[in-house]
Amino acid sequence: MVLFYFIIIIFLFPQQAHAYIDPGTGSYIFQTIIAVFLGLSLSFKFILKFAKNILHRLVSSVSHKKK
């Protein structure tokens, strides 16, 4: 727990860093965020479609057995 607080304090009070971030880095980060979002949304869509297809097959097979 002490280590957790130590890490929090380090990130809350960083020392000055004289660093340069390339202008292309921002667009790269933006593209990565968009790619992750689109990838997750498409994966969720395909999983949902697959689950609906399986449920539809189960319901239709049960309804055919009742007739």
Tell me whether residue 45 is in a domain. yes
By CB neighbour count within 10 A (0-12 exposed, 13-18 middle, 19+ buried), where does 32 fall?
exposed
3 sits in which H/E element: helix 2-12
Number of domains in the chain: 1
pLDDT tens profile 2-61: 888 888 888 888 777 777 777 788 889 899 999 999 999 999 999 999 999 999 998 887
Which domain range does residue 58 map to? 26-66
Q: pTM for the complete prediction? A: 0.54
Tell me whether residue 36 is in a domain. yes
Tell me whether residue 50 is in a domain. yes
pLDDT at 65 over 90: no
Instruction: Give the pLDDT band of residue 67 (cuts 50, 70, 90).
Output: low
CA dihedral 57, 58, 61, 65 (to 10 degrees): -170
Tell me whether residue 43 is in a domain. yes
Tell me whether residue 1 is in a domain. no
